[in-house]
Amino acid sequence: MKVKDLVEVLDNITGGRVVKGIDDIFTGKNPFVVMKSSNIPGKSVMETPGLVYGDPEAEIKKIAVTMTLTEGNIELAGATGVDAIVAHHPIADAANSGGVTLKYYLSLYNVAVFELHEAFHGLHPGISYIHGHKPFRVDIRYGGIPGNIMYVGKALDEIKTLGDILERLNKMMDMEKEQSVMNVERTYFSSEMKDSATAIQGEILLGTPESPVNTILHIFPHTGFTPEHLVKAKEEHPEIDTVLATISRVKKDSALVKKAEEMGLNFICGNSHALEIFENGLPLAYALRHYLPEDIEVVLFRERICSIPLKDFGSANIKEYAKYITENYLINKK
């Protein structure tokens, strides 16, 4: 199998959304080629679903699926014989390759990289299923904003209350095992250690575990969903009784929660972005497995970010090194 064959596989999986050539990028022909910008000078990025870097004729024997490409991903790929990384999120020079250019870093290990992001969004109802509802409306550009995804769905038969949603999430994410792993690591590294899998769990902001759930407005606050959007969605679907925020979340005192409270709605936060590898990465990996020859290995790269207090970080030797460097090179004696 070659890199160019994987382009075709991803195009099949996304229903033809992958970039086929340079014209797709600059002519507006492909609607999934979009610019993302906060108007911070020099920090915008263009999403180009498909092959970002790599020789189309290069052979592939092992593929990794990841959420966000990092230098850690590239090093792990190089060390474990991965020929191609399929990243969910858009890839940018230096930002996703340890501050150096993608070309030199990736060519060092002969690794090809792909991205999908908006081209993968909207293909499946996985995030809604995980949280216990079946959408009857999906909009990936709500309010005309690319990537501002909104679902409206009916709770599954087994989901009667907000508490049922939290219980479903804990089982889906195997939170008991995640917490056990965290507890073991705390005995070795720090009793104050936290991680991205367990520190951000489902949470009810308006309502109680016993609050009934029927029609769910499922939003992703980081994509630009506003209180005005909430009002509009409720007008379009008066039967909405619950707001579900996933991937990103809001604080209890946010404008979105205040508006939901005014409208008499439940508000619950579900899985965070830190667990998206399960929601989008795992189905993508299984889809690749379906299309690929049996001899092609598929793995998932999961990033689990840990927080450790400075006083507990590292061995005694590395702490001495850090203090030496700080005292001799990083403190301005003047």
What H or E segment, with its residue span, contains residue 6? helix 3-13
Same fold, 3-120 and 126-273: yes
Q: Are 18 and 50 in contact (CB under 8 A)?
A: yes
The H-or-E segment that residue 299 falls in is strand 297-300
Residue of 179, 195, 191, 177 lying closest to 303 (CA atoms): 195
Report pLDDT for 262: 98
Which pTM does this prediction carry?
A: 0.91
pLDDT digit string, tens, across residues 228-255: 999 999 999 999 999 999 999 999 999 9
The CA–CA distances, whole Å, from 81 to 73, 294, 296 equal 12, 17, 12
* pLDDT averaged over every residue in the chain: 96
The CATH H-level (homologous superfamily) assignment of domain 126-273 is NIF3 (NGG1p interacting factor 3)-like (3.40.1390.30)
> Which pLDDT score, from 0 to 100, does residue 122 have?
80
pLDDT tens figures, 69-80: 999 999 999 999
Output the six-digit token pair for 89: 């999120």
The pLDDT value recorded for residue 237 is 98
Tell me which CATH homologous superfamily contains domain 3-120. NIF3 (NGG1p interacting factor 3)-like (3.40.1390.30)
User: What confidence tens digit (pLDDT) does each residue in 116-156 have?
Assistant: 998 998 889 899 999 999 999 999 889 998 889 999 999 99
d(CA 310, CA 307): 9
Check residue 146 and give its pLDDT: 80
- pLDDT tens for each residue of 5-31: 999 999 999 999 999 888 888 888 899
The Cα 102–Cα 124 span in angstroms is 30
Instruction: Kindly give the interhelix angle for 162-172 and 175-188, rounded to the nearest 10 degrees.
Output: 60
Domain limits of the chain?
A: 3-120, 126-273
Helix (H) or strand (E) holding 255, with range, is helix 255-262
